[in-house]
Structure 1
């Protein structure tokens, strides 16, 4: 993840200096954003069998189960990784923002809203456990992806 963030930050710097590369880079990121949303939908909603409707609203509940739940750390990490590409690509969607900070806030809020929507749909369609921890980890993944844009802009 760190490597992806650093590579994206460097490519952001190159895009800021070269207008032709910037247009190409924006197209690549728009495609990545679309693919990320489809991947999120595929991994979280499609292909799952409707079981029971369960919700876990206690934040960081999964952390308390790590001593006996061998899948807890993998699940948390996968939730972070799933939203990282979305965070990498979203800053190129919100080019109309007034400034970088506003763009980054739009990106983060969009990532959070997508995550909350997925959890609500999982609950409504009884497609697994709808957890607050998933939203926290998904938002963290999106924020880490956004950090690539922050680093690319701040360290020109």
Structure 2
């Protein structure tokens, strides 16, 4: 790790031996560190783009720009956590393709099996983790879109989730499961509902201020 190695080493010494699922902490730190490295390249590109836009005296909406920066980092981190993690290798991806038997096509079967494990942690992480990680998709993406925000957001959320499952299958960095697509899309929908609620409140406040 480039940015977070020192912090991770300290945390591992502090709690690594006492935490049964410390591999999640390792995955999170490693993915966050990689995401920051990729994000730096995007920052450089974006700053050059904004400088050119400023030189042409074009308008830059600050609120939308902030959301864009957050959204790009979120997407980079999402793919680092799910696809481009340890075990990922471009050169060996197509050497030995798995059969489609490795894909779970039956909804909720594998998720329900997790309730029979030694602890409920795997079930809770699989269910709520897949929902939680896609809430920002539904929350931020509508603010960046112009028309048909709800439909486009749900379609993009579904498409991103599907692309993750396909890449996990190809690169063998995860288990491709129809449940993940369902829960991810549900997370996108929840984020979209929060965004719609915030927009409704903002419009109500604006109308009140106009009336006053």
Q: TM-score with structure 2 length normalisation? A: 0.56
- Find the aligned partners of 1:48 and 1:57 in 2 and give their Cα distance: 25
Residues 136 and 188 of structure 2 are in contact (CA less than 8 Å); yes or no, is this contact kept in structure 1? yes
Q: Which residue of 2 aligns with 1:132?
A: 178
Q: Deviation string for 1:108-140 (max 9, x for gaps)?
A: 100100000000010111112100111111111
> Equivalent residues in 2 for 1:1-156 (5 A)?
23-49=61-87, 53=98, 54-69=102-117, 70=120, 71-95=122-146, 97=147, 102-155=148-201, 156=204
Structure with more contact order per residue of length (Cα contacts < 8 Å, sep ≥ 6): 1
Larger radius of gyration: 2
Supply the RMSD in Å over aligned alpha carbons.
Answer: 1.9
The DSSP-based 3-state class of the residue aligned with 1:56 is coil
Unaligned runs of 5+ in 2: 1-60, 89-95, 205-212
Note the C-alpha offset of 1:37: 0.8
CA distance in 1, matches of 2:183, 2:149: 21
Shift of 1:88: 1.1
- Partner SS for 1:127: coil
Residue 152 of structure 1 and its aligned partner are, at CA, apart by: 2.3
Which structure dedicates a bigger proportion of its chain to strand?
1
Gap runs ≥5 in structure 1: 1-22
Q: Secondary structure at the match of 2:133?
A: helix
Distance 1:24 1:64 in 2: 45
Structure-1 separation of matches of 2:83 and 2:157 = 16
Question: Per the alignment, in what secondary structure is the counterpart of residue 172 of structure 2?
Answer: coil
- Indicate the larger mover: 56-65 or 123-132: 56-65
Moved over 4 A (4+): none
Query: How many residues are aligned here?
Result: 129
Quick check: 1:62–1:72 contact (8 Å CA) kept in 2?
Answer: no
TM-score scaled by length of structure 1: 0.74
